[in-house]
């Protein structure tokens, strides 16, 4: 019994070290890319590596908690946790099926990861940013695609996310494979989950002896995916509500400040004389200064409301960093 407890404790320490190392690797590489302004995420190398070493469960933990930790600095990251979990599950499955031993199958794996990250991730981005372009690395490419013939914003966002994700996932798979192959065989054997170790020793009756264990693992994986989906869904709705309130407050504040700048007694003169009207240049400068103070504001404009309709006042302040559609 003492020997069994000692072995279990040893296995637990290896499990904990694997998960911790994977999380640290994800965190360091993701922040390395941010620090050096590399247009890649590099945030799932640890998840894929741990999936190869220890199987599905530790990889899921690495993927999910990596997003939790990164959300401290970028809250929106938390809502992509379900994607990290799915990538971890797929990486474990592909490694078990020996996909990473063949170049053409590895390319297939990269495209699967890109579909999860770029496809499903693009859908999440679309909802998170209010059915508009996101703010990540893919945003400039999405704007360019939309301006050069892509029929709608969602298709442009989806295309941009997928293209960049193919490059990103190719990079992370190559890095994970390089680290995995550089590790000593002794380390790989120590990290193997118990059922895989038994398979290596006695594969003749492994199906009979480990059917129950595999069922338990499947149940745990499904539970983890559902938990991640629920957490991301709740987080998404909370984030959206908070974002709406924040942007509404910013918009109201900007409107109130702009109303102070524009003298209602001078509106008729602004309409009749335009830029040559007295005080027009000062008001225009004030509006531009106001817009620069709030980069969330796309543009400012003013209307004169009359009993028989509205008339546009010739103040239009655009944010040069954003594209009007």
Instruction: Compute the distance between CA of residue 238 and CA of residue 232 in angstroms, rounded to an integer.
Output: 10
Residue 190: the pLDDT is 85
Q: Domain 2-243 carries which CATH code?
A: 1.10.1760.20
Q: What is the average pLDDT across 136-154? A: 81
SS3 assignment, position 316: strand
Instruction: Compute the distance between CA of residue 244 and CA of residue 174 in angstroms, rounded to an integer.
Output: 40
Residue 27: the pLDDT is 94
Examine the pLDDT at 290 and tell me if it is beyond 50. yes
Q: Where are the beta strands (DSSP E) in 94-167?
A: none
3-state secondary structure string across 232-287: HHHHHHHHHHHHHHHHHHHHHHHHHHHHHHCCHHHHHHHHHHHHHCCCHHHHHHHH
Residue 285: the pLDDT is 82
pLDDT tens-digit map of 182-221? 999 988 888 877 555 444 445 545 454 556 566 666 666 6
Examine the pLDDT at 8 and tell me if it is beyond 90. no
Domain definitions of the chain by residue range: 2-243, 262-318
What is the 8-class DSSP label of residue 37?
T
Burial of 72 (0-12, 13-18, 19+ CB in 10 A): exposed
Examine the pLDDT at 101 and tell me if it is beyond 70. yes
Q: List beta partners, residue 309.
A: 306
SS3 assignment, position 317: strand
Mean pLDDT of the chain: 79
pTM value is 0.68
Q: Does residue 265 or residue 33 have the better pLDDT?
A: 33
Residue 211: the pLDDT is 63
Counting every residue written for the chain, the total comes to 325
Residue 276: the pLDDT is 79
pLDDT tens-digit map of 239-271? 667 777 777 887 788 878 877 877 777 777 877
């Amino acid at each position: 019994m003492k020997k069994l407890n000692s072995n279990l404790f040893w296995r637990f320490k290896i499990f904990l070290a694997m998960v911790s190392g994977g999380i640290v690797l994800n965190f360091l590489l993701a922040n390395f890319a941010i620090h050096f302004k590399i247009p890649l995420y590099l945030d799932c190398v640890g998840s894929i590596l741990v999936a190869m070493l220890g199987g599905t469960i530790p990889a899921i933990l690495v993927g999910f908690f990596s997003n939790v930790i990164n959300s401290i600095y970028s809250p929106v990251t938390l809502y992509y946790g379900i994607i990290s979990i799915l990538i971890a599950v797929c990486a474990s499955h592909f490694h078990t099926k020996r996909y990473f031993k063949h170049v053409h199958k590895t390319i297939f794996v990269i495209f699967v990861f890109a579909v999860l990250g770029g496809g499903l991730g693009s859908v999440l981005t679309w909802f998170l940013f209010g059915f508009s372009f996101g703010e990540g690395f893919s945003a400039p490419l999405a704007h360019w695609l939309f301006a050069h013939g892509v029929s709608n914003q969602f298709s442009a966002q989806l295309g941009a996310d997928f293209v960049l994700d193919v490059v990103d996932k190719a990079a992370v798979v190559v890095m994970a494979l390089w680290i995995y192959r550089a590790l000593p065989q002794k380390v790989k054997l120590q990290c193997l989950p118990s059922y895989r170790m038994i398979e290596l020793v006695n594969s003749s009756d492994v199906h009979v002896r480990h059917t129950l264990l595999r069922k338990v693992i499947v149940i745990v994986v499904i539970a983890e995916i559902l938990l991640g989906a629920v957490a991301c869904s709740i987080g998404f709705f909370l984030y959206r509500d908070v974002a709406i309130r924040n942007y509404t407050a910013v918009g109201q504040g900007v409107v109130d400040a702009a109303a102070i700048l524009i003298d209602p007694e001078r509106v008729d003169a602004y309409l009749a004389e335009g830029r040559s009207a007295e005080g027009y240049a000062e008001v225009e400068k004030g509006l531009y200064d106001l817009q620069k103070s709030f980069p969330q504001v796309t543009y400012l404009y003013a209307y004169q409301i009359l009993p028989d309709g509205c008339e546009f006042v010739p103040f239009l302040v655009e944010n040069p960093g954003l594209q009007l559609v």
